[in-house]
Chain A
Amino acid sequence: MRATVLVRPKAGILDPQGEAVESSLRQLGFPVDEARVGRVIDLDVQATSAEEARGEIERMCERLLANPLIESYEIEVGE
């Protein structure tokens, strides 16, 4: 089952990459107030249902894919 995990720096966490992207976009003339840079992880998971896949991926996030001190995550399970 295909799934995507979006990992983002939590609000309030310094994100120098996001700041660099934001300032570059401004220099290019785009009307940007803020940019935050996270990470996308595409997965193909062995699971018989979307719920099962979601549960497994949550455990993956807690153990490895995200550091809960600084990052939040969002899981999208496909068809």
Chain B
Amino acid sequence: MSEVTPRIAVLVFPGSNDDRDAAWALTALGADVRLVWHADQELPLVDAVVLPGGFSYGDYLRCGAIARFSPAMKAVTAFAGEGGLVLGICNGFQILCEAGLLPGVLRPNASLEFVCADVPVRVERADTPFTTRCEPGQELVIPVKHGEGCYHAPEDLGDDQVVFRYARGANPNGSERDIAGVVNADGHVLGLMPHPEHAVDPLLGPGDGALVLASLVDAARERLYARA
């Protein structure tokens, strides 16, 4: 019997530019992807939501600050409030922080330069819905490409919420405590600066991002079984 196909929404904001890549990668890994326009008031029936990279609303004011108030984000906040799986990549991470769904905030890179590079990222927790296909301590190579990825953590952020860290000496943006990705306290909302959707097809470089997205597809499939 073939596996059932979970549904994953990928949000599209004006200025998103990795939405199609995220949709392609998730589809390649077995998900049925629905693109959701930022002005939509409701999400379709889905098992997970992905906020893609890009420059939503031109990154005006602060990156993610305007996107958080879009109608679709209200629906995402309600979805997350019910324990729904939400993954924010790069600009998606920035939006989740501004929306208060994740702790902290992303600030301009310490170098003030845009960075575009494959970086080694250590998996600190392999027990989240986004990392079950990884080993604890495993080093993944995933590209980053951002101008504002310097993570500022609230003082009380526990290490148990840090899911990804840049490998020693490979912090591309000056993030505090080398943090590359954090999860909410309940463990079902994750944001990260590296782009797993750009590291899925080995033909194009490292394929480690597939471990992250395939973990999400697995978790979404479990949610689908649970609601079936």
* Residue positions of A touching B, CB distance < 8 A: 13-14, 16-17, 20, 64-65, 67, 69-70
CA A67 – CA B98 in complex, angstroms?
8
Tell me if B's interface is mostly helix, strand, loop or mixed.
Answer: loop
CA A70 – CA B155 in complex, angstroms?
12
A64 touching B107 in the complex, CB below 8 Å, given contacts A20-B112, A69-B154:
no
Total A-B pairs, Cβ < 8 A: 33
The number of residues on chain B lying at the interface, defined by a beta carbon within 8 Å of a beta carbon of chain A, is: 18
A17-B108, A64-B69, A67-B62 given; name 4 further pairs at CB < 8 Å.
A14-B107, A14-B152, A14-B174, A69-B154
A64 touching B154 in the complex, CB below 8 Å, given contacts A16-B108, A16-B111, A17-B108:
no
A70 touching B105 in the complex, CB below 8 Å, given contacts A64-B61, A64-B65:
yes
Q: Is the CB of B109 within 8 A of A13?
A: no
Q: Is the CB of B152 within 8 A of A69?
A: yes
Q: Is the CB of B104 within 8 A of A69?
A: yes
**Is B170 interfacial (CB 8 A cutoff)?**
no
Q: Is the CB of A16 within 8 A of B104?
A: no
List the B side residues contacting A67 at CB < 8 Å: 62, 65, 98, 105
CA A16 – CA B154 in complex, angstroms?
19
**Is B110 interfacial (CB 8 A cutoff)?**
yes
CA A70 – CA B64 in complex, angstroms?
15
**Is B150 interfacial (CB 8 A cutoff)?**
yes
Taking a contact as CB atoms closer than 8 A, the residue among B61, B69, B107, B154 that contacts A65 in the complex is B61
* A4 CB to nearest B CB, Å: 16
Docked complex: B109-133 residues within 8 A CB-CB of A? 109-112
Taking a contact as CB atoms closer than 8 A, the residue among A20, A64, A65, A69 that contacts B105 in the complex is A69
List the A side residues contacting B65 at CB < 8 Å: 64, 67
List the B side residues contacting A70 at CB < 8 Å: 105, 107, 152
Q: Is the CB of A16 within 8 A of B110?
A: yes
A14 touching B110 in the complex, CB below 8 Å, given contacts A64-B69, A67-B98:
yes
A16 touching B112 in the complex, CB below 8 Å, given contacts A65-B61, A67-B98, A69-B152:
yes
List the B side residues contacting A13 at CB < 8 Å: 107, 152
